[in-house]
């Protein structure tokens, strides 16, 4: 659990700080084991299916970035200072990090993006920048200095850097994180962190779909449903015909077309949101089995009490209403009757291998389970241990 300051708990945090203002919590994390050493992190950064980068440089020279996978001998060539290794989605590859994510159970799990781990040499930094998502920074080893600014010109970026670094950054506060300390930074807060000594940090980020994400899902749903409406200019006036010129009336027709599409999407907002927040990075999608489990095989194996596991990289969310239930996995959706929350929670509970805690299974349950097994989002835990 997070050890909040006196007079504050998770409810108070949500009321007073979440997406509003930063919060430093000294000694927030106690007794949390760190299963990732710097050498482990470097090893992950050498893997082809792991997203990693090394950022080098500083304020005078600017910052450069190299993306993994890296060769093992590259780490021995790094200087003694002014670089940082960042590895995304470490929680997908190190199951022992589950307790760290469990600290944030007071927030919706579908909002969780990933747990990034970074190792910094003295002076290592990604420069002053702004994120569009919430992040909790947990210091695990060493000390890291952070500066925060109350405002800045978010459109002005240094042009001598390979990453988005703010051109102007005037800190309004300065602080440090020692092991066990946690800093919450809401979206849009300019911040700048630097390692004072070799240090290792956890960054727990939370997904925030953009309007573009939702619009792209709306376009996909309209296409899938065959409910598209095409541009029409019936009653075209002679005055509009002028070779390649697009008239003001044509622009207005296109605007109305988009407005009508948005109105048609109103009934699909749950689908848009669910698909957007569970959409996955291609390299994190599970591998599909060569021989998917048939429905008969599924029933037989469940009857034998074989255990299912939800793939570590798969993203899941669900929504229940009076008219029905929707479950989302890796950007796809399945419809169920109303009152199916227990089935959704049972799938959610398969993050750790175990029996499917729902009986009896209806026909639509079996169809969804077979689909998820065919996609690799569900696997048989006993197959994993014997392979």
147 and 177 in contact (C-beta within 8 Å)? Answer: no
225 and 298 fall within a common domain: no
Which of 203, 202, 204, 180 has its CA nearest to residue 30? Answer: 180
Can you give the pLDDT at residue 112?
Answer: 95
Q: Which residues on neighbouring strands pair with residue 137, listed in sequence order?
A: 183, 203
47 and 153 fall within a common domain: yes
96 and 137 fall within a common domain: yes
Number of domains comprising the chain: 3
Last residue of a domain, one of 269, 295, 312: 269
- Residues 230-259: tens digit of each pLDDT: 999 988 888 888 888 899 999 999 999 888
257 and 123 fall within a common domain: no
- Residues 347-369: tens digit of each pLDDT: 999 988 777 888 788 999 999 99
Helix axes 269-278, 211-225, angle to 10 degrees: 120
Last residue of a domain, one of 158, 186, 206: 206
Query: What single string gives the DSSP state of each residue in 91-151?
Result: HHH-GGGHHHHHTTTTS-GGGEEEEEEEEE-TT----SB--SS-EEEEEEES-EEEEE-S-
20 and 157 fall within a common domain: yes
371 Cβ contact list (under 8 Å, min separation 6): 334
100 and 243 fall within a common domain: no
218 Cβ contact list (under 8 Å, min separation 6): 261, 262, 265, 268, 272
The domain that contains 379 carries what CATH number? 3.40.366.30
Instruction: Look at residue 276 and tell me if it is in a domain.
Output: no
226 and 328 fall within a common domain: no
Instruction: Look at residue 2 and tell me if it is in a domain.
Output: no
- Residues 134-157: tens digit of each pLDDT: 999 999 999 999 999 987 666 688
Structural domain range at position 345: 282-386
How far out from the chain centre does Cα 191 lie?
A: 20
pLDDT classification of 387: cutoffs 50, 70, 90: very low
Instruction: Look at residue 354 and tell me if it is in a domain.
Output: yes
Last residue of a domain, one of 269, 295, 314: 269
172 and 316 fall within a common domain: no
Instruction: Look at residue 84 and tell me if it is in a domain.
Output: yes
- Residues 66-125: tens digit of each pLDDT: 999 999 999 999 999 999 999 999 999 998 999 999 999 999 999 999 999 999 999 999
End-to-end CA gap in the chain? 36
């Amino acid at each position: 659990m997070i050890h909040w300051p006196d007079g504050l708990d998770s409810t108070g945090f949500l009321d007073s700080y979440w997406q509003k203002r930063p919060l430093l919590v000294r000694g927030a994390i106690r007794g949390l084991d760190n299963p990732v050493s710097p050498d482990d992190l470097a090893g992950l950064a050498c893997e082809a299916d792991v997203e990693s980068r090394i950022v080098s440089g500083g304020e005078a020279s600017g910052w450069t970035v190299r993306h993994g996978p890296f060769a093992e001998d590259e780490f021995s060539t790094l200087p003694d200072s002014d670089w940082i290794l960042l590895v995304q989605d470490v929680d997908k590859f190190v199951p022992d990090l589950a307790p760290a994510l469990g600290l944030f159970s007071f927030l919706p799990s579908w909002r969780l993006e990933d747990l990034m781990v970074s190792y910094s040499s003295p002076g290592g930094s990604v420069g002053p920048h702004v994120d569009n998502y919430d992040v909790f920074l947990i210091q695990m080893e060493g000390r890291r200095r952070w500066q925060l600014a109350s405002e800045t010109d978010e459109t002005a970026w240094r042009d001598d850097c390979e990453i988005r670094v703010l051109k102007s950054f005037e800190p309004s506060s300065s602080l440090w994180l020692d092991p066990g300390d946690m800093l919450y930074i809401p979206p849009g807060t300019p911040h700048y962190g630097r390692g004072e000594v070799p240090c290792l940090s956890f960054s727990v980020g939370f997904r925030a779909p953009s309007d573009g994400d939702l619009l792209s899902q709306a376009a996909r749903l309209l296409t899938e449903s065959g409910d598209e409406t095409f541009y029409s200019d019936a009653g075209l006036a002679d005055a509009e015909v002028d070779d390649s010129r697009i008239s003001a009336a044509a622009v207005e027709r296109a605007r109305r077309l988009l407005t009508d599409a948005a109105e048609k999407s109103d009934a699909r907002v749950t689908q848009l949101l669910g698909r957007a927040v569970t959409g996955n990075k291609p390299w994190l999608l599970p591998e599909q089995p060569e021989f998917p489990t048939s429905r008969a095989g599924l029933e037989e194996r469940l009857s034998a009490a074989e255990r299912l596991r939800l793939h570590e990289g798969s993203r899941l969310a669900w929504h229940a209403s009076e008219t029905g239930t929707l479950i989302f996995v890796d950007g796809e959706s399945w419809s169920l009757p109303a009152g199916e929350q227990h089935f959704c929670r049972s799938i959610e509970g398969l993050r750790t291998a175990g029996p499917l805690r729902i009986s009896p299974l209806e026909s639509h349950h079996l169809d969804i389970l077979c689909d998820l097994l065919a996609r690799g989002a569900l696997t048989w835990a006993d197959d994993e241990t014997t392979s």
